[in-house]
């Protein structure tokens, strides 16, 4: 295949390839279109933006940005520095402002995508279709709603693609400088940007006759200038920031973070068979089958008319596919976004070809303007359908779950408490401590995310030092080793949201969060839960077929959304119970419906009865056992009266069947939510 990059005159090259020339009018149309499309995307992202700190990396980025800390490998210095600039905006809290960086970055990426398609086709309608398809793809949109590195990576990827294809058309040295700077900056954000290097290098190699030494040197300097953002790590690390994964703060640590860290090697493995479904299901869901068909048609158009674009796209798509097949992380679908960018460019190319064909083929009976308008409306159905499908699912508007969990936990912990958790549940606690200045006496340790550390031994050392110890469930907090050595008594039930990507069906469910994690007290000895009698105002007499009776229940009668409620249960064994039993408390509205989030109850308490104190298999007949837990009232719950219902299940069978079936649960009281 001859790319014919050796032509020396940009105008002769553009004419020979049938490319539109850059004129003042075209530039004005491109700027207006980019502004309109990017503005629309930003407006949509703003309505679905998370209002405060979130879990996991998203909360860590917000905290690190606000405090000028150092995030986990690879440090993400560009994201942290830009996030810090956003924290000076006079809107929302600090976390909201860092979340806003993702919305702005992604909207700008959408705008640049419009520019790429318009550069290639001179068709603003086609450019709008391609750009908005990218904007409303579920993965791209979801990343725009909270603090992540993916939106910024997508923006820099788009800048590199547009700059390199612009250099291919016009051979202006400044476009190489822009691309090189974006690549250097991108390396200081997320290594996913490296996917653009091979196809860009191929364009340079094919057009080497047009390169000048001065342009090469300027590009190299620009790349190093962007990469120099990494100097933030040793500079800030020497100041010992409150949040820093660069400990010990030495050059070995910095080099390890720069080269992606030692632990990352575990993620690389040839896992083709188990990852083929990612390449099959996510693109068809995110871009739709008609969208992928258009991308295929666009690629065919590029093969015939713009071979360099075809080669660039093919290589970028191939490299992204290989990465997805070999890099084994739970959110690998986020690594498809560079491919989505290129596919949406091809969608725009195909849309322009289709509109041109309609314009040429319009007959006497149908005016060309009407035919083109009808075709444009048909093409617009793709981004419109994506918007309608994804709006409710990806929205994080009103999601205060992480902030509420952190505040509730820190408000109720005793002085000098220690919380053992992982990098999922620790960030919102850090945010409230380090950004808002609350409860700095509490030690929050992400020990479950530190390879080689022994949480049980660490807990014992803290207990020996007289510090109360707790454990918060996250993505990777195996409780069994702790439970073998200590008593884990639930304190705050089902108030930690967890990413259940491996439980719910893909690809519709991806970053879906469900409140199913709890906070436990780590106790060297179990407290005695046996009481002599039930308070008169709490008396109940509800027998369950498993051999236990709810003898009493107490809790608030009126609460507000976002409040913390404490429920106390009094149980009595009617006879010896052979098994450990569990109980699920759920809340049904006046129609008997249970509010759901992602198919699971939005408000519930699920636990083993007497967990961490005395399980039912060790009860004596006639004993009254008391258990008491806190629970957060979800902000998403509608106001009104709720029937409090309770079901009992065999603890060995799990709680899945007991969670949502309100019809089989016994009514034990009522509660009104304001």
Residues 617, 548 contacting (CB under 8 angstroms): no
**For residue 124, what is the enclosing H or E element?**
helix 124-135
User: Please, which residues bridge with residue 542 across strands?
Assistant: 550
* pLDDT value, residue 656: 54
CA–CA distance, 330 with 275 (Å, rounded to integer): 11
The answer to whether the peptide bond before residue 74 is cis (omega within 30 degrees of 0) is yes
Residues 630, 596 contacting (CB under 8 angstroms): no
Number of H helices, E strands in the chain: 23, 17
SS (H, E, C) 172-211: CHHHHHHHHHHHHHHHCCCHHHHHHHHHHHHHHHHCHHHC
User: How many CA atoms lie within 13 Å of 409's alpha carbon, on the beta-carbon side?
Assistant: 39
**Which residues of the chain are under the pLDDT cut of 70?**
1-23, 260-271, 274, 362-365, 500-505, 598-599, 653-663
Kindly give the interhelix angle for 124-135 and 368-394, rounded to the nearest 10 degrees: 10
pLDDT digits (tens, 9 = 90+) for 369-418: 888 899 999 999 999 999 999 998 899 998 999 999 999 999 999 999 99
CA–CA distance, 467 with 442 (Å, rounded to integer): 10
| Four-CA torsion 662, 665, 670, 673, nearest 10 degrees | -30
pTM over 0.75: yes
CA–CA distance, 230 with 75 (Å, rounded to integer): 8
Name the residue among 253, 329, 301, 312 with its Cα closest to residue 74: 253
How many other CB atoms sit within 10 Å of the CB of residue 18? 9
Q: Which residues contact 563 (CB under 8 A, 6 or more apart)?
A: 556, 632, 633
Residues 49, 396 contacting (CB under 8 angstroms): yes
CA angle 339, 319, 19 (to 5 degrees): 60
Backbone angles phi, psi at 635, to 5 degrees: -70, -15
CA distances in angstroms from 621 to 452, 625, 646, listed in the order given: 45, 11, 21
CA–CA distance, 570 with 599 (Å, rounded to integer): 30
* pLDDT value, residue 96: 98
The answer to whether the peptide bond before residue 248 is cis (omega within 30 degrees of 0) is yes
CA–CA distance, 515 with 463 (Å, rounded to integer): 29
- Residue 137 token pair: 């793809």
Compute the residue count for the chain.
674
**For residue 492, what is the enclosing H or E element?**
strand 487-499
Name the residue among 80, 78, 100 with its Cα closest to residue 89: 100
In a 3-state reduction of DSSP, which class is residue 54?
coil
Q: What sections of 329-367 are H helices per DSSP?
A: 337-361
CA–CA distance, 390 with 137 (Å, rounded to integer): 8
CA–CA distance, 280 with 456 (Å, rounded to integer): 42
User: How many CA atoms lie within 13 Å of 328's alpha carbon, on the beta-carbon side?
Assistant: 12
Residues 199, 310 contacting (CB under 8 angstroms): no
Burial class (CB within 10 angstroms; exposed 0-12, middle 13-18, buried 19+) of 144: buried
* pLDDT value, residue 9: 35
CATH architecture of the domain 528-674 equals Sandwich (2.60)
User: Please, which residues bridge with residue 569 across strands?
Assistant: 553, 627
- Domain ranges in the chain are 10-232+250-394, 400-525, 528-674
Strand order in the sheet with 558-559: 558-559, 666-673, 640-650, 581-588, 604-608
CA–CA distance, 440 with 431 (Å, rounded to integer): 11
**For residue 566, what is the enclosing H or E element?**
strand 564-573
């Amino acid at each position: 295949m001859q790319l014919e990059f050796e032509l020396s005159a940009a105008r002769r090259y553009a004419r020979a390839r049938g490319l539109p020339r850059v004129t003042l009018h075209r530039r004005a149309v491109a700027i207006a279109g980019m502004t309109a499309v990017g503005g629309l995307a930003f407006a949509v992202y703003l309505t679905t933006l998370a209002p405060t700190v979130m879990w996991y990396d998203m909360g860590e980025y917000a905290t690190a940005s606000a405090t000028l800390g150092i995030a986990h490998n690879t440090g993400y210095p560009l994201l942290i520095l830009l996030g810090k600039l956003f924290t000076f905006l006079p809107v929302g809290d600090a976390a909201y402002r860092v979340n806003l960086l993702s919305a702005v970055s992604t909207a700008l990426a959408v705008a640049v995508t419009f520019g790429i398609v318009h550069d290639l086709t001179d068709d603003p309608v086609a450019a709008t279709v391609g750009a908005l398809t990218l904007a409303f793809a579920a993965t791209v949109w979801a990343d725009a709603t909270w603090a992540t590195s993916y939106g910024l990576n997508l923006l820099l990827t788009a800048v590199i693609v547009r700059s390199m294809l612009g250099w291919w058309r016009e051979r202006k040295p400044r476009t190489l400088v822009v691309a090189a700077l974006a690549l250097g900056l991108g390396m200081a954000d997320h290594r996913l940007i490296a996917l653009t290097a091979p196809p860009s290098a191929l364009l340079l190699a094919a057009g080497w006759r047009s390169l000048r030494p001065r342009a090469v040197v300027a590009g190299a300097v620009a790349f190093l200038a962007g990469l120099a953002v990494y100097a933030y790590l040793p500079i800030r690390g020497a100041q010992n920031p409150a949040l820093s994964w660069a400990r010990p703060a030495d050059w070995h640590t910095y080099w390890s973070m720069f080269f992606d860290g030692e632990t990352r090697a575990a993620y690389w493995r040839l896992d083709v068979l188990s990852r083929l479904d990612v390449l099959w299901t996510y693109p068809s869901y995110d871009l739709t089958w008609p969208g992928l068909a258009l991308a295929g048609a666009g690629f065919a158009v590029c093969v015939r008319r713009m071979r360099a674009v075809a080669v660039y796209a093919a290589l970028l798509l191939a490299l992204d596919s290989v990465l997805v097949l070999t890099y084994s992380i739970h959110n690998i679908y986020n690594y498809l976004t560079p491919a989505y960018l290129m596919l949406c460019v091809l969608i725009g190319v195909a849309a322009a070809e289709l509109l041109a064909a309609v314009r040429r083929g319009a007959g006497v009976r149908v005016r060309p303007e009407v035919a083109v308008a009808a075709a444009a409306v048909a093409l617009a159905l793709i981004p419109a359908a994506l918007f309608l499908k994804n709006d409710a699912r990806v929205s994080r508007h009103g999601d205060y779950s992480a902030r509420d969990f952190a505040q509730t936990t820190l408000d109720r912990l005793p002085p000098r408490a220690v919380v053992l958790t992982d990098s999922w549940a620790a960030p919102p606690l850090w945010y409230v401590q380090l950004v808002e200045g609350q409860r700095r006496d509490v030690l929050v340790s992400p020990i479950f995310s530190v390879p080689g550390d022994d949480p049980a031994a660490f807990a014992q050392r803290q207990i020996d030092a007289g510090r109360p110890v707790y454990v918060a469930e996250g993505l990777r907090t195996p409780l069994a080793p702790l439970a073998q050595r200590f008593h884990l008594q639930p304190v705050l039930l089902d108030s930690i949201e967890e990413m259940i990507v491996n439980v719910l069906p893909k690809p519709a469910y991806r970053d879906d969060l469900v409140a199913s994690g709890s906070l436990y007290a780590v106790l060297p000895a179990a407290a005695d839960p046996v009481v002599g009698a039930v308070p008169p105002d709490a008396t109940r007499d509800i027998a369950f077929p498993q051999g236990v009776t709810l003898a009493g229940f107490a809790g608030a009668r009126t609460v507000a959304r976002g409040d913390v409620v404490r429920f106390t249960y009094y149980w009595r064994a009617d006879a010896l119970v052979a098994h450990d039993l569990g109980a699920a408390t759920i809340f049904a509205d006046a129609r008997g419906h249970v509010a759901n989030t992602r198919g699971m109850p939005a408000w519930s308490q699920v636990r083993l009865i007497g967990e961490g104190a005395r399980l039912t298999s060790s009860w004596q007949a006639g004993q009254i056992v008391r258990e008491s837990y806190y629970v957060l009232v979800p902000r998403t719950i509608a106001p009104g009266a709720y029937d409090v219902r309770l079901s009992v299940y065999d603890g060995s069978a799990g709680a899945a069947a007991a969670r949502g079936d309100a019809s089989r649960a016994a009514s034990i009281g009522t509660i009104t939510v304001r």
